[in-house]
Amino acid sequence: MSTSSVTSATDLHNAFPETALAYINQAAIAHNLQSLRHTLNSAGQRSTPSIWAVVKADAYGHSVMHVLPGLHNADGIAVLSLPEAYGLRSLGWHKPILVMNAQFSTADLRDPKLFPLHLVIDNERQILELEGLRQADRPFVWLRYSGILHHAGFDNQDYGPVCGRLQKLVRANVLAGLGHMQHYAQAEDAEQLHAERKVFEGLFAGLPGPRCTENSAALLSDPGYAAGADWVRSGIALYGISPMHDSIGSSLGLMPAMTLQAPIHRVQKLPAGQLLGYGATFQASHDMRIGLVGCGYADGYPRSISEDCPVLINGRKSRILGRVSMDTITVDLDDHPTAGPGTMVTLWGADGLPIEVIARSAGTIPAQLCAGVTGRVPRLAICAPGGARRP
Ligand SMILES: *Cc1c(COP(=O)(O)O)cnc(C)c1O
């Protein structure tokens, strides 16, 4: 295979596309970052938090390389691992990087290329390595509280003593500073979020250092509180996707960054009474015209969608018929007489078919869909200010 995921948009657009394509709108990313900043600014605090743009899982499936130009106004970028941090440096990112799940040795932290470097500290092994650092290295560290998520971090009992050890390293000038962090388990639920914040506040009362607790859901559901933080960490909202179960990104002023499209490669008649697809789950009630679309669950389109899941053809709604298979989706062309081989079908994204709708139909969350678009789908960068009607 000679094509890579960075083939230029025009090359592929001019050729007859045979596969699914994911357009990544860099202007939408920039807009969403700006919108989050505006939300925090208008929440009326004296100083507003700095924003970590979270790009783990290759920018939630959007590709770090493509989203980076839209993130130039971010204060820092958050990733999971040191190799991802090196990737950002080689793409020219000079501002701070937060590594949220770093496995490192003392020696790993001696490379000046990595700095300014922030590390989330959530286990004893990391602290032992930090204790071996010299004054020249000086990462900033964020001590993680386990909270009720319990994926990583220190509990109520251990947090204080560990904090004491790290403060010693700050005083010895081995660390650039120490902050406090947690990641909510139930940020979408106002009552639970309030409870999680209260526990955190109790634990950190009196401890010096900045705080970093808010993710997209917490930030958007209660900007007034989030605006009082020192740093926030946002992922999903930057991609234009609502972190709440009951809304879509555009209702929060966000623009979807990913549009997934695939071409119709064949049109067929389906006579009345005939069955269609694996499991023969669809039966034509009348003579129908159907289109076979080159996208399936091997591209990351969910097989679990419910009946009549929508797609867009030339900007108008149609629906999926029968089961999604590995490489093929079948769509209803009854009301789309001009659609034929080569017509692009929008499966989710900017054309007015929110990924949130497809996720709901599939019984999952939008993040699983965008992060689940597989490697065989080329990501094509576009820059369409004001939102692409057609990418
Ligand atoms: C993924 C992640 C985030 C970003 O969360 P969103 O809900 O996508 O904004 C923030 N913090 C941590 C620790 C994460 O793992």
DSSP conformation letters of 127-162: HHHHTT--TTT--EEEEEB-TTT-SSSB-HHHHHHH
Q: If pLDDT is split at 50, 70 and 90, which confidence band does 351 have? A: confident
Q: Are residues 100 and 138 in the same domain?
A: yes
> What's the pLDDT at 345?
97
Mean pLDDT value across residues 203-224? 94
Pick from 308, 315, 352: nearest CA to 331: 308
CA distances from 157 to 138, 154, 182, 224, 271 (A): 27, 8, 15, 30, 69
> What's the pLDDT at 14?
54
Is residue 137 scored above 90 in pLDDT? no
> What's the pLDDT at 71?
98
In-domain check, residue 250:
no
- Please name every residue paired with 233 in a beta bridge, in sequence order, or none if there are none: 52
Mean pLDDT value across residues 378-385? 92
Q: Compute the distance from residue 184 Cα to the ligand 1 centre, in Å.
A: 9
Q: What percent of the chain has pLDDT over 70?
A: 94
Q: If pLDDT is split at 50, 70 and 90, which confidence band does 390 have? A: very low
Is residue 370 scored above 60 in pLDDT? yes
| Cα three-residue angle 285-288-291, rounded to 5 degrees | 130
Specify the CATH number for the domain of residue 127: 3.20.20.10
Percent of the chain as helix, strand, coil, to the nearest 5: 30, 25, 45
Q: Which residue has the higher pLDDT, 230 or 2?
A: 230
Mean pLDDT value across residues 44-69? 94
List pLDDT tens digits, range 319-350.
Answer: 999 999 999 999 999 999 999 999 999 999 97
Q: Compute the distance from residue 28 Cα to the ligand 1 centre, in Å.
A: 19
Is residue 4 scored above 60 in pLDDT? no
User: Total domain count for the chain?
Assistant: 2
Q: Are residues 104 and 191 in the same domain?
A: yes
> What's the pLDDT at 15?
58
> What's the pLDDT at 148?
87
234 close to ligand 1 (CB < 6 Angstrom):
yes
The yes-or-no answer on residue 225 being catalytic is no
Q: Compute the distance from residue 291 Cα to the ligand 1 centre, in Å.
A: 39
Q: Are residues 356 and 291 in the same domain?
A: yes
216 close to ligand 1 (CB < 6 Angstrom):
yes
Q: Are residues 56 and 180 in the same domain?
A: yes
Is residue 230 scored above 50 in pLDDT? yes
Q: Are residues 223 and 319 in the same domain?
A: no
144 close to ligand 1 (CB < 6 Angstrom):
no
* Ligand 1 atom with minimal separation from the 216 CA: 9
Mapped onto helix, strand or coil, the DSSP state of residue 80 is coil
Q: Compute the distance from residue 112 Cα to the ligand 1 centre, in Å.
A: 26
> What's the pLDDT at 47?
82
Q: Compute the distance from residue 202 Cα to the ligand 1 centre, in Å.
A: 22
Q: Which residue has the higher pLDDT, 8 or 207?
A: 207
In-domain check, residue 62:
yes
Q: Are residues 71 and 183 in the same domain?
A: yes
Among the candidates 239, 272, 288, a domain finishes at 239
54 close to ligand 1 (CB < 6 Angstrom):
yes
* Ligand 1 atom with minimal separation from the 181 CA: 13
235 close to ligand 1 (CB < 6 Angstrom):
yes
CA distances from 6 to 18, 27, 376 (A): 16, 18, 12
Q: Which of 198, 269, 278, 317 is catalytic?
A: 278
CB 144 within 8 A of CB 106: no
The yes-or-no answer on residue 56 being catalytic is yes
Q: Are residues 223 and 359 in the same domain?
A: no
CB atoms within 10 A of CB 148: 12
Q: Are residues 222 and 277 in the same domain?
A: no
> What's the pLDDT at 3?
36
Q: If pLDDT is split at 50, 70 and 90, which confidence band does 385 have? A: confident
List pLDDT tens digits, range 80-136.
Answer: 999 999 999 999 999 999 999 989 999 999 999 999 999 999 999 999 999 999 888
243 close to ligand 1 (CB < 6 Angstrom):
yes
Mapped onto helix, strand or coil, the DSSP state of residue 120 is strand
Q: If pLDDT is split at 50, 70 and 90, which confidence band does 352 have? A: confident
With 0-12 / 13-18 / 19 or more C-beta atoms within 10 angstroms meaning exposed / middle / buried, residue 111 is middle
Q: If pLDDT is split at 50, 70 and 90, which confidence band does 43 have? A: confident
Q: Which residue has the higher pLDDT, 334 or 389?
A: 334
Six token digits for residue 100: 């949220």
Q: Are residues 343 and 293 in the same domain?
A: yes
> What's the pLDDT at 204?
87
Q: Report the chain's mean pLDDT, rounded to a whole number.
A: 93
List pLDDT tens digits, range 139-177.
Answer: 999 999 998 898 999 999 999 999 999 999 999 999 999
Query: Could you list the residue range(s) of the whole structural domain that residue 295 is in?
Result: 258-382
DSSP state for residue 275 in the 8-state scheme: E
> What's the pLDDT at 8?
53
DSSP state for residue 220 in the 8-state scheme: H
CB atoms within 10 A of CB 212: 25
CA distances from 351 to 32, 70, 220, 347 (A): 17, 20, 24, 9
* Ligand 1 atom with minimal separation from the 219 CA: 9
Q: Are residues 69 and 139 in the same domain?
A: yes
Q: Are residues 216 and 264 in the same domain?
A: no
